Amino acid sequence: MKLLSMNEIDGGRYLHRYELVYENRAGREKHYEIVSRRVINSPEELGRVSSGISMIVTQNDRLLLLKEFRMAINRPVYNLCAGMINEGESIEDCVKRELFEETGLKVKEIKKILPASYAAVAISDIMTNIVYVEAEEGGISGEYASVNEEIQAAFYDADELSAMLETEAFSSRSQLAAYEFCRSHSK
């Protein structure tokens, strides 16, 4: 596959849409649309910069999940605490800010920051870092969420998560995190 051209189709506040034109293996043009969280000035910039984080947050052998209303699917889904990195913000500062904004909790320890990975590789160049976090003791407060978000945050133990994995809707990353949490905490 050979990239022939890249053109921005349109852009909004959070997403920019591009058309990529490739020469396929048969020598014919293949038109492909993607979205990005940032303005891309050249093809060399595709998929090179992390724009957000997703956190796997634990507290006392329980995993934090957010039950969020997601407009793209018009329903609530279990998700990881996550957010976009502000310009000039470190990953660590983003973790502290987003955890507090979405739950009212504070970070006790950032255990591991994984290298950036692609969030939706079939349609986007968006990269995020998965961050393993231990939260300080304390309760969750719903008063910190934006009026544009509907979030119910809670911690779940392995038994609760095992049952939820059979009946509830999850984002793919939160489903994988919950499944692996259950495997590592089985009795």
Per-residue confidence in pLDDT tens, the chain, 187 aa: 899 999 999 989 889 999 999 999 999 999 999 999 889 999 999 999 899 999 999 999 999 999 999 999 999 999 999 999 999 999 999 999 999 999 999 999 999 999 999 989 999 999 999 999 999 998 887 665 677 888 899 999 999 999 999 999 999 999 999 999 999 998 6
Q: What is the pLDDT of residue 187?
A: 65
Q: What is the pLDDT of residue 143?
A: 63
Same domain, 55 and 40: no
Model pTM greater than 0.85?
yes
Same domain, 63 and 88: yes
Same domain, 86 and 34: no
Same domain, 61 and 89: yes
Q: How far apart are the first and last CA of the chain?
A: 49
Q: Are 127 and 46 in contact (CB under 8 A)?
A: no
Rounded to 5 degrees, φ, ψ at 95 are -60, -50
78-99 burial, b at 16+ Cβ within 10 Å, e below that, comes to bbbbbbebeeeeebeebbbbbb
Same domain, 80 and 19: no
